A and B are shown apart, each in its own frame.
Chain A
């Protein structure tokens, strides 16, 4: 059974860096799937942040590209998110998500973490 569990601070000060890690179990980071981050401000819709395939070059949402880094931690079967220069607008529930890379349902987000609330406030 595939599970994704994120970890990281729930409170970040404005202008500082938001850092989250997602531990994957039941699948390998080096499988044929993509590993993504999606966020959701309270009461609002979903925003794709970016994703990475194995240890290749990540892809980012252009609206966040200048502030985001997604990377794979090879030896720990986990991947991470760093978002710098944070503001209150970055306050949201952050999900780590598997996106299917091969076979049906190729292309979609099929496994989601429970989500972690991150608040940007002094």
Chain B
């Protein structure tokens, strides 16, 4: 099983500033990496797939990068609605065995 490790567990950033979240895979997942945002009481929402492609309707302030084992999600100029929980997900296995990071909580500083 590929383990996904996110850091930090909690990130405190002021509105308008930039936030960078990290995700590390225990072995290479190529670019089969997605990011999801989860607001309280809501299901996760797909933000990024293929490590760096924004899903339809996702604002340009969200960007993803990396490949192999190291990935980042950057949110430039944080808006109030961006303070939420973020998960990474690798989907590089066959047969399917999906794993998620434990999450990074992005909170207002």
Smallest CB-CB separation from A57: which chain B residue?
B95
Q: In the docked arrangement, what's the CA distance between A45 and B89, Å?
A: 11
Smallest CB-CB separation from A106: which chain B residue?
B49
- Scoring B residues 73 to 106 as 1 if CB is less than 8 Å from chain A, else 0, what string do you get? 0000000000000010101000111111111000
Q: How far is the CB of A79 from chain B (nearest CB, A)?
A: 15
Q: Please tell me if the beta carbons of B43 and A113 are within 8 angstroms of each other in the complex.
A: yes
Interface-forming stretch among A11-19, A21-29, A46-54, A82-90?
A46-54
Given A110-B55, A112-B44, A114-B43, A105 contacting B97 (CB threshold 8 A): no
> How many A residues face the partner with a CB closer than 8 A?
23
Smallest CB-CB separation from B96: which chain A residue?
A59
Q: In the docked arrangement, what's the CA distance between A16 and B42, Å?
A: 28
Binding site for B on A (CB under 8 A): 34, 36, 44-48, 51, 59, 61-62, 95, 99, 104-105, 107-110, 112-115
Extra 9 A-B pairs, beta carbons < 8 Å, given A51-B96, A62-B97, A108-B49: A45-B102, A105-B46, A107-B34, A107-B91, A108-B34, A108-B91, A109-B46, A113-B43, A115-B43
